[in-house]
Structure 1
Amino acid sequence: MSKSKRLIELMMAVNRMRKFTVKQLAQQFGVSSRTILRDLQELSELGVPLYSEVGPHGGYQVLRERILPPIAFTEEEAVSLFFASHSLRHYPSLPFETESSNALRKFYNYMPGDVRDRIDQMKNRVDFVAPTRQQELPYLPLLLDAAIRQRVVRIEYDSRGGVSSRLVQPVGIYAKNGFWYCPAYCFRTDDFRLFRCDRIVAAAPDDSVEPRDHQHIHLDNWESYSTKPRVYVRYYVELTKAGMQRCEAELCPMPTLYRREDGSGWLDTDMPESEIPYFAKFFIGLGNEATVVEPPELIDQMKQLLRDILGKYG
């Protein structure tokens, strides 16, 4: 086996084993212990984070931040991965902000010159627009890690009633319209709640309570585990062509829309009653492009908002 091939296979082996001895590797690769020591030294110089321990139970360990073995990409695959990361640049805060920037830079720097030229041209012609938010979100990595490891987090949450302390067990995090959200089990209310991450003013792991077994709960099904059933009402709204386009572009998740041949249409779906305050503001923003027919509670709230606006401006 050539040295270059042995180094690649050795990199894959140490990442897989995590803890090993020189003797084990020498037997596995059929070389001397001295050769393995030289190879490990070269891997360390290449950036593989190795840690040695002395003593009867010693050996080598790979630290947590492991280096993945080389992976061959086609040009199209590399470009697609570049733009998958590039699409997130409008978000000022990301769970892996530094890591994604480093990965993007590596993809770009190690590509041939003609491929970099192609990417430079595409960057100015392809975009993934998201509303720009100014809030810094330093706790996204902590919330995501807690969701993955099933850990409890103590947060200080700024809601309408003021800042309150809560113990939560995150389900995950997701972005919507430029905001980050964290559905989580709240130990205070004994139910699942949705938290806006920009309203979390402090967060830290907390081991004072035992985490719940929520491995089976994820972003697609967490609402179904709520102990407080949500009340649904019928929403029916007539929409002009422009109104249809605004709804398709701005509503997420997308409600049921029906389109006529001229491009106009209507919204007809059952949605939570708790969403009425949001849709009252949204449909007022559409002006004459939307006519709300049902529910009457939505119409009443829109009227009240309009009266408040008129009163504000005399």
Structure 2
Amino acid sequence: MSKSKRLIELMMTVNRMRKFTVKELADQFGVSARTILRDLQELSELGVPLYSEVGPHGGYQVLRERILPPIAFSEEEAVAMFFASHALRHYLFLPFEAESSAALQKFYYYMPGDVRDRIDEMKNRVDFLTHTRKQKAAFLGVLLDAAVEQRVVSIQYETKQGLSERSIQPVGIYASNGFWYCPAYCFMRGDFRLFRCDRMHSAAFDESGVEPLDHRYIHLGNWREFAAEKAVYVRMIAELTREGVQRCEAELCPVPRIDVKPDGSGRLDQEVPTSEMRYFAKFFLGLGNEAVVLEPKELVDSIRDILRELTEKYGQGV
């Protein structure tokens, strides 16, 4: 077996065994203990987190952070992977911010020179823009770990009435228009709620003894279906110009259902919660002449109410 192949198999073996002795590895690979020691030294220099223990029962351990074995990428795959990770730089906060930066640097460093040159030429030619917000979202890692491990988190949450302390069981986290959101089961409300992560002043694993619920089959795609308080929906219809279509597709989440015409204009037709009428009224007012809302009447009335408030505020003395 060649040395390079032995090192790759050795890396996968120690990741799997987690704890081992030099003799065990030497017997398994059919080489001397001295050869294994040299190989382990090379793996350590490559970044495999090995820890040695002395004594009669000593040996080696792989620390908690595992190192994946080498993966072969084509040039196009490598470029695609680089820019997929590169796009995350627009987010000021990520659940794995330091790791993604380190992975990107490592990925770039070990690429062949001509591939790095190609990426350098492309950096100013392609980008994935997103809204950059100044609001902090400092607890994304805790929330994501809690969602994966089915754990309860204690948070301090900013509401219109002030700070509220509550226990939640996160479903997951997602980013939209530069904000991070966390749908979670709220034990105080006894139902699912959607939380803005930047409004969390603190978040830590709960130590008060609140028992987590079995939410293994609840995820970002279906959590609303499990809400006890079912939202009341109405049909929303709006005629959109070409720019209106582009704005709706870029700014509304989830992406609305729009029947786009050949000239780029379109018709939005979908069910929306009645509780969000005020939000949609402000949104369509922001579109100006790029949209005409036809239904529901509640939404049209809400737009008129906001226009009346603005007229009273800015129409004085006119």
For structure 1, the residue ranges without an aligned partner over 5 or more in a row are none
The 2-side partners of 1:53 and 1:91 are apart by: 41
Partner of 1:225: 226
The 1-side partners of 2:279 and 2:19 are apart by: 53
Aligned residue identity for 2:71: I
The 1:111/1:189 distance shift into structure 2, 3 A limit, reads same
Aligned residue identity for 2:246: Q
Partner of 2:310: 309
The 2-side partners of 1:34 and 1:76 are apart by: 40
Partner of 1:12: 12
Question: Where do 1:78-97 residues align within 5 Å?
Answer: 78-97=78-97
The 1:45/1:241 distance shift into structure 2, 3 A limit, reads closer
- Shift, 1:112, TM fit: 2.5
Deviates most, 226-235 or 287-296: 287-296
Partner of 2:215: 214
Question: Where do 1:1-314 residues align within 5 Å?
Answer: 1-54=1-54, 58-207=58-207, 208-313=209-314, 314=316
The answer to whether the Cα contact below 8 Å between 2:157 and 2:163 also exists between their aligned partners in 1 is yes
Identity of counterpart residues, as a percentage? 70
Aligned CA RMSD, in angstroms, stands at 1.8
The 1-side partners of 2:294 and 2:43 are apart by: 68
The answer to whether the Cα contact below 8 Å between 2:8 and 2:70 also exists between their aligned partners in 1 is yes
The 2-side partners of 1:42 and 1:266 are apart by: 62
Q: How many residues align?
A: 314
The 2-side partners of 1:157 and 1:65 are apart by: 32
For structure 2, the residue ranges without an aligned partner over 5 or more in a row are none
- Shift, 1:35, TM fit: 3.4
Report the TM-score, using the length of structure 1 for normalisation.
Answer: 0.94
The 1-side partners of 2:68 and 2:240 are apart by: 51
Report the TM-score, using the length of structure 2 for normalisation.
Answer: 0.92
Deviates most, 265-274 or 226-235: 265-274
Deviates most, 140-149 or 245-254: 245-254
Match of 2:90, SS state, is coil
